[in-house]
């Protein structure tokens, strides 16, 4: 059964005459201050699947409980936003249908269909219930599991991996969330989320290991196929992080790299890279790559005794005459003279 089928089943099974109390599983401790209203989770993984209808019903299905509860919502007994709270675990949300309006750290946000987000354990938030028409899946995981999966296992190959990993470690006490907006097909993410819920329900030998692997795939997919926004990162800062990563990648792969390689690796479009490089260097991609190649050639001329023809090949040029023209224009001398002058 996929997520859409689960949504339909949840709505079909709504009992409009029997209003249940919230199932036991994630225990909520209520205090006067929202910072002290904390949701605790038993175990290391859990999920909460809900469907809110325009006529004021919330139907919820909580993992490890196996039964559905339906609530009648009304302005007379509930605020337009659910009571503010925070978690003692990391929560991932995915909007299966409609949209989800939330207040996070007293700021309003609207998550659209197929968007995902992660909220850390210190972020006070609330969900809009009245007037909503949506289906949401919330996946909870302990801070320890989040650290193990996302802060240690992910490689720094993607531009924001290392930065966000360091940011989350350094600012564990800061209230923040990460938002992911799809650039293309989102079905793979839905399939992975659906697999996670199945494994949580199965709760068999090895399920925890399978769920960890699935969540690692989910995070990898979110970073490679979704636009990423971390609340503590402004657009300017994010672009600087990505540019530094691109510059580092080109410095290692300058021989044959094209802008299409960047698109394939980092999953942003060509126009984004063109504007990013122009913004930071006032050069086109070709000019920036040429700058890196000529810089490498200069280093090799001084630091090695390799033949100049070999250096020309090593930095990615096939046409010797073209290289000589570029080099002379940049330095005012031929490569032989440059080597001799700098070695002296």
What's the pLDDT tens digit per position in 217-252?
A: 888 888 778 877 766 555 566 677 778 888 888 988
pLDDT band at 149 (very low <50, low <70, confident <90, very high): confident
For residue 165, the model assigns a pLDDT of 56
Domain 234-344: CATH superfamily is: Homeodomain-like (1.10.10.60)
- Fill in the DSSP letter of residue 82: P
C-alpha 135, offset from chain centre: 21
pLDDT of residue 174: 53
Give the model's confidence band at 159: pLDDT under 50 very low, under 70 low, under 90 confident, else very high.
low
Among the residue ranges 94-98, 171-175, 253-257, the one predicted with the least confidence is 171-175
Residue 178 — pLDDT band, cuts 50, 70, 90? Answer: confident
Domain with CATH 1.10.10.60 in the chain: 234-344
Phi, psi (degrees; rounded to nearest 5) at 116: -130, 160
- pLDDT over 50 at 333, yes or no: yes
Residue 65: per-residue pLDDT:
53
pLDDT of residue 330 exceeding 70, the answer is yes
Q: Where in the chain is the domain with CATH 2.60.120.10?
A: 3-230
Q: Which residue has the higher pLDDT, 75 or 194?
A: 194
pTM score, whole prediction? 0.64
Say what the pLDDT of residue 24 is: 34
C-alpha torsion sign, points 129, 112, 197, 164: negative
Q: Give me the chain's average pLDDT, please.
A: 77
Residue 66: band (very low, low, confident or very high) from pLDDT cuts 50, 70, 90: low
Pick the CATH number of 3-230 from 3.40.190.80, 3.30.1240.10, 3.30.310.80, 2.60.120.10: 2.60.120.10
Beta bridge partners of 140: 46, 91
Question: How many Å is the Cα radius of gyration of the chain?
Answer: 26
Assess contact for 317 and 293: CB atoms under 8 A. yes
The residues, any chain, with a CB within 8 Å of residue 62's CB and separated by 6 or more, are 22, 23, 25, 26, 46, 47, 48, 49
pLDDT cut 70: percent of the chain above it: 74
Confidence at 25, pLDDT banded by 50, 70, 90: very low
The answer to whether the beta carbons of residues 219 and 253 sit under 8 Å apart is: no
Burial (0-12, 13-18, 19+ Cβ within 10 Å), 117: buried
Distance from C-alpha of 261 to C-alpha of 273, rounded to nearest angstrom: 11
User: Which pLDDT score, from 0 to 100, does residue 115 have?
Assistant: 93
Q: Decide which of 186 and 70 is more confident.
A: 186
- Residue for token digits 């925070």? 86
Cα–Cα separations (whole angstroms), residue 89 to 94, 136, 147, 182, 272 = 16, 18, 11, 25, 35
For residues 122 and 128, give the distance between their C-alpha atoms in angstroms, rounded to a whole number: 19
């Amino acid at each position: 059964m996929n997520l859409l089928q689960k949504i339909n089943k949840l709505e079909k099974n709504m009992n409009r005459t029997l209003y249940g109390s919230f199932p036991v599983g994630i225990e909520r401790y209520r205090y006067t201050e929202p910072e002290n209203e904390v949701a605790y989770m038993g175990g290391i993984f859990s999920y909460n699947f809900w469907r809110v209808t325009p006529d004021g019903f919330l139907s919820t299905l909580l993992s490890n409980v196996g039964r559905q509860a339906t609530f009648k919502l009304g302005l007379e007994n509930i605020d337009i936003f659910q009571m503010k709270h925070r978690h003692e675990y990391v929560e991932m949300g995915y909007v299966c249908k409609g949209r989800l309006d939330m207040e996070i750290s007293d700021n309003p946000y609207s998550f659209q269909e197929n968007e995902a987000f992660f909220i850390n354990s210190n972020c006070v938030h609330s969900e809009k219930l009245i007037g909503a028409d949506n289906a949401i899946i919330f996946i909870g995981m302990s801070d320890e599991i989040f650290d193990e999966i996302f802060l240690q296992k992910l490689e720094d190959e993607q531009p924001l991996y290392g930065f966000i990993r360091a940011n989350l470690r350094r600012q564990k006490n800061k209230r923040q969330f990460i938002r992911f907006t799809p650039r293309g097909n989102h079905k793979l993410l839905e399939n992975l989320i659906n697999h996670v819920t199945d494994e949580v329900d199965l709760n068999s030998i090895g399920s925890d290991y399978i769920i960890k692997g699935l969540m690692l795939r989910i995070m990898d997919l979110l970073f490679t196929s979704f636009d990423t926004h971390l609340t503590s990162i402004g657009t300017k800062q994010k672009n600087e992080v990505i540019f530094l990563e691109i510059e580092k990648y080109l410095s290692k792969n300058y021989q044959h790299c094209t802008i299409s390689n960047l698109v394939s690796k980092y999953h942003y479009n060509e126009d984004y890279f063109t504007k990013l490089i122009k913004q930071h260097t006032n050069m086109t991609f070709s000019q920036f790559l040429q700058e890196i190649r000529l810089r490498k050639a200069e280093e090799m001329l001084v630091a090695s005794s390799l033949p100049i023809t070999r250096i020309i090949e090593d930095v990615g040029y096939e046409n010797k005459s073209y290289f000589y023209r570029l080099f002379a224009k940049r330095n005012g001398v031929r490569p032989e003279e440059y080597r001799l002058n700098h070695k002296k």
